[in-house]
Amino acid sequence: MVNNLNAAFSALSDPSRRAILARLSQSERTVGELARPLPMSLPAVSKHIRILEEAGLVAVRKAGRTRRLRLVPSALAPAEEWIARHRALWEGRFDALAAYLRQTRAASGPAAAAPPAPRRPTHPGKSTPRTPRRTKGATRTTPQTAKGDSK
């Protein structure tokens, strides 16, 4: 199951492969129909299809010279089970954390119920003040040139 799970998540990690699966969820398609809206070559699409096929997410049927693909939804079952198991685990942990925080706030009184205000940086997105930039063509003055020294 671990290999199937890894293969499924690996196949789903690429946006192009997810787009292929989304189109196959509507109906069976040929490789050309799947490749048409994608911004890549036909050989690149074929590589993505091979990865989906190896993961068991897609089944290929040859009809003459045409390859028709269809989605195999049952191949996602191991991934769905893994996600459900971990979702339950994390939801339980978050519920326990929320209960702990409610209990802590209630024990400390109403003044502690409000969270502290966040610190604002001196410049949006930065934690330190921004140094002014020089404009194009401006010269930098050094202590020597500022005193009239021509070095």
DSSP 75-124: GGHHHHHHHHHHHHHHHHHHHHHHHHHHHHHHHH-GGGTSPPPPPPPSBT
- Amino acid identity at 139: T
Note whether residue 37 is domain-resident: yes
CATH of the domain at 80: 1.10.10.10
Note whether residue 67 is domain-resident: yes
- One pLDDT digit (tens) per residue for the chain, 151 residues: 567 889 999 999 999 999 999 999 999 999 999 999 999 999 999 999 999 999 999 999 998 999 999 999 999 998 999 999 999 899 999 999 999 999 999 888 765 556 666 666 555 555 555 555 656 665 555 555 555 555 4
Note whether residue 145 is domain-resident: no
3-class secondary structure, 34: helix
Note whether residue 21 is domain-resident: yes
Alpha-carbon torsion (105, 106, 112, 113), positive or negative: positive
Note whether residue 100 is domain-resident: yes
Domain interval for residue 73: 1-110
Number of domains the chain is built from: 1
Note whether residue 31 is domain-resident: yes
Note whether residue 45 is domain-resident: yes
Note whether residue 138 is domain-resident: no
Q: What predicted TM-score, i.e. pTM, was given to this entire model?
A: 0.61
- The span from the CA of 24 to the CA of 67, in Å, is 13
